[in-house]
């Protein structure tokens, strides 16, 4: 195995060091402007902003004594929600420090950010709010989010005094946590607080769970029509709650941290909601690069992308002078392509693609997938630079209709561009072993199918003997399996990897958490035929690097789970990682070719992906 660029021990050691200071990446530039650092002399221009003793140099000013190169203008990203500080149940490698946030912003060319602090919720609110201000005082491109609550219990300032403190400390956004901090936002005694926030039109950030139910969210919007709310934390399977609300209530603004809905920005742009959409990453817990990629590739006018990236937020914060445009001079060609909205200049093979029937936007259950049929999916794939991928049905897997799912996959392959193949699914809970044996032979008679995709809804653990007829057929034909574990551990994968060494077993969603990554690393280190595919909604910052550090660079795979989730966040998560370009290229496509290589000769020429970009 090639030498790893760094070890997991080094990874943990590096990230366990405490401290609130920031490390600025070498070669980080600010377009046409600069934040004044120590030792720099500034010749004044036409605008100047001073905050907490810091000077921010605006357009028209010349920075003397700096050697930084200026690059062309890019989209200005102002992050609407980041959060630092200690939290419960944290994995040792999970990012949480101010330094982690600053590094991620620099890596991903994020110009400014609102910053929340966990202790403002978990400890005394005002004590921690002021502590947050002290922590970020050195960084004029960071703006505090104060957590607020009613004053009647003597723990928090009354609204008039709160307003003075917010003005004194340059606070333009607040959060509320009624559930976590145990206060009733519907109670009459909260009226003075919300009256003050409404009068000042202070951006108020919260989640649906903090307010109660989705019915409570609507009641809040009705009660406080002049209070601008930013709702974070909504998940992609809550679209049927969120989309009607955002279309009806113009004081509701939403982020896409977990609301990673397929073609979401395009849909909301068409429905007239562009001014209510906010780029907010939840960095450093999540990857800021994942979320900016969603915006960079949005098929909407450039002016509207600029609104979502930062313009809407600056309007809500009443910021008249734009923050300095910060761009990472050392970005690689993949990051450059994303920021330009261009297809990646290297091959991309997606190892986790679902498919609806043409013309559908819904997948049953809680799932809505805008434009989730072949036309929409292949158009999106072309925009991103895909060279191919493994397609499986949605209805056969998640809707438990395996016998209908395989024809759906075949229909998608009939209209697919070059480079796509199929994964079949079979359900041992609905069919006898003999029926399964016949169906397996019939489906795989189509040489475009080379993958095996079971699912937890079938009710049997994957190493149960009821699956043996499928696994034995796959082993004989050197297929591969994509496994979404049905247990809390990876016993299924490890058992199958040992029993069927000619099958490559791909762990789905291995990057969903550091805990899952630990289990995947252990399985890969035991079994050479086990691989790990990254996709999952949390897009934890640093976890892809962690997988590479623990298991090497040759068995980590890109996958998106589209159209259940939009693929752009998943792609950006990898593209804006700190891995070297050559390793990113392996994860994007080269490692996938190793998975399908043993059965590549079986595939028709049209279904074989290429490692040469279009």
**Fold held by 75-323:** TIM Barrel (3.20.20)
Rounded CA-CA distance 266/270 in Å is 6
Tokens read off for 429:
């809970």
| Per-residue confidence (pLDDT) for residue 612, from 0 to 100 | 82
Alpha helices in 113-252 (DSSP H): 119-122, 125-136, 159-168, 191-199, 208-211, 214-223, 239-248
Residue pair 422/451 in contact (Cβ under 8 Å)? The answer is yes
Cα–Cα distances in Å, from 456 out to 50, 116, 286, 392, 482?
A: 57, 37, 27, 15, 12
Rounded CA-CA distance 271/489 in Å is 43
| Residue showing tokens 């399996």 | 481
| Per-residue confidence (pLDDT) for residue 45, from 0 to 100 | 32
HSE-up (13 A, CA, CB side) for residue 257? 26
Tokens read off for 474:
């796959």
Rounded CA-CA distance 509/522 in Å is 15
Q: Which long-range contacts (CB under 8 A, 24 or more apart) does 118-124 make?
A: 118/83, 118/84, 118/85, 118/86, 118/87, 119/85, 119/86, 120/145, 120/146, 120/147, 120/175, 121/147, 121/175, 121/177, 121/180, 121/181, 122/85, 122/87, 124/155
Q: Does domain 336-605 have CATH number 3.20.20.140?
A: yes
| Residue showing tokens 């406080």 | 224
Count each helix (H run) and each strand (E run) in the chain, helices first: 24, 22
31-41 pLDDT, tens digit per residue, is: 333 333 333 33
**Where in the chain are the domains?**
75-323, 336-605
Low-confidence ranges of the chain (pLDDT < 50): 1-6, 8-72
Q: H or E stretch including 544?
A: helix 543-551
Rounded CA-CA distance 484/535 in Å is 11
Cα–Cα distances in Å, from 13 out to 6, 9, 92, 545?
A: 11, 6, 9, 14
Whether the ω angle into residue 284 lies within 30 degrees of 0, i.e. cis, is yes
- Buried-state track 117-145, b at ≥16 Cβ within 10 A, e below 16: bbbbbbeebbebbbebbebbebbbbbbbb
CA angle 122, 290, 528 (to 5 degrees): 100
Tell if the pTM clears 0.75, that is, is over it. Answer: yes
Q: How many CB atoms lie within 10 A of CB 182?
A: 8
| Same fold flag, 75-323 and 336-605 | yes
534-575 pLDDT, tens digit per residue, is: 999 999 999 999 999 999 999 999 999 999 999 999 999 999
| Per-residue confidence (pLDDT) for residue 614, from 0 to 100 | 65
Q: How many residues does the chain have?
A: 614
- Buried-state track 545-584, b at ≥16 Cβ within 10 A, e below 16: bbbbbbbbbbbbbbbbbbbbbbbbbbbbbbbbbebeeebb
């Amino acid at each position: 195995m090639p030498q790893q660029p760094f070890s997991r021990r080094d990874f943990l050691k590096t990230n366990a060091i405490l401290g609130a200071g920031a490390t600025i990446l070498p070669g980080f530039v600010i377009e046409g402007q600069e934040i004044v650092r120590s030792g720099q002399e500034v010749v004044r221009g036409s605008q100047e902003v001073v905050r907490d003793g810091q000077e921010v140099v605006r357009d028209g000013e010349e920075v003397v004594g700096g050697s930084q190169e200026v690059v062309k203008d890019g989209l200005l990203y102002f992050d609407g929600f980041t959060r630092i500080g200690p939290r419960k149940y944290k994995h040792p490698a999970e990012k949480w420090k101010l330094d982690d946030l600053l590094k991620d912003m620099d890596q991903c060319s994020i110009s400014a950010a609102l910053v929340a602090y966990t202790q403002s919720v978990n400890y005394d609110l005002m004590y921690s709010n002021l502590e947050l201000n002290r922590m970020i005082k050195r960084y004029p491109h960071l703006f505090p989010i104060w957590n607020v609550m009613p004053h009647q219990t003597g723990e928090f300032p009354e609204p008039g005094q709160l307003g003075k403190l917010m003005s004194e400390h340059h606070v333009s956004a607040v959060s509320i946590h009624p559930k976590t901090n145990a206060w009733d936002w519907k109670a009459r005694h909260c009226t003075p607080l919300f009256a003050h926030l409404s009068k000042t039109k202070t951006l108020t950030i919260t989640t649906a769970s903090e307010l109660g139910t989705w019915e409570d969210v609507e009641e809040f919007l009705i009660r406080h029509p002049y209070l601008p709310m930013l709702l974070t934390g909504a998940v992609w399977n809550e679209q049927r709650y969120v989309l009607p609300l955002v279309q009806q209530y113009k004081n509701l603004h939403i982020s896409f941290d977990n609301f990673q809905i397929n073609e979401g920005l395009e849909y909301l742009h068409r429905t007239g909601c562009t001014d209510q959409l906010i780029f907010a990453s939840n960095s450093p817990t999540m990857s800021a690069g994942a979320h900016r990629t969603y915006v960079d590739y949005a098929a909407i006018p450039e002016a509207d992308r600029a609104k979502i990236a930062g313009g809407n937020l600056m309007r809500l914060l009443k910021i008249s002078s734009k923050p300095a445009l910060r761009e990472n001079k050392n970005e690689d060609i993949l990051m450059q392509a994303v920021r330009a909205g261009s297809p990646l200049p290297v091959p991309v093979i997606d190892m986790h693609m679902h498919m609806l029937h043409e013309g559908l936007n819904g997948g049953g259950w809680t799932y809505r997938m805008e434009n989730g049929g072949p036309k929409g999916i292949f158009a999106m794939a072309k925009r991103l630079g895909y060279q191919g991928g493994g397609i499986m049905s949605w209805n056969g897997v998640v809707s438990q209709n395996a016998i209908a799912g395989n024809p759906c996959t075949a229909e998608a392959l009939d209209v697919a561009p070059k480079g796509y193949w199929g994964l079949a699914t079979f359900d041992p809970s609905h069919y006898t072993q003999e029926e399964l044996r016949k169906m397996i032979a019939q489906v795989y008679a189509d040489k475009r199918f080379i993958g095996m995709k079971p699912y937890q809804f079938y009710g049997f653990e994957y190493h149960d003997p009821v699956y043996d007829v499928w696994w034995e057929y796959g082993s004989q034909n050197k297929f591969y399996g994509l496994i979404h574990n049905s247990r809390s551990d990876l016993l299924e994968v490890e058992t199958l990897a040992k029993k069927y060494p000619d099958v490559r077993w791909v762990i789905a969603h291995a990057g969903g958490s550091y805990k899952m990554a630990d289990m995947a690393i252990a399985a890969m280190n035991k079994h050479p035929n086990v691989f790990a595919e990254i996709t999952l909604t949390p897009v934890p910052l640093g976890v892809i690097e962690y997988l590479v550090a623990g298991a090497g660079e040759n068995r980590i795979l890109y996958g998106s789970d589209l159209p259940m989730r939009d693929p752009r966040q998943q792609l950006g998560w990898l593209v804006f990682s700190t891995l070297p370009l050559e390793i990113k290229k392996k994860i994007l496509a080269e490692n996938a070719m190793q998975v399908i290589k043993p059965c590549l000769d079986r595939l028709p020429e049209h279904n074989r992906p290429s490692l040469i970009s279009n």
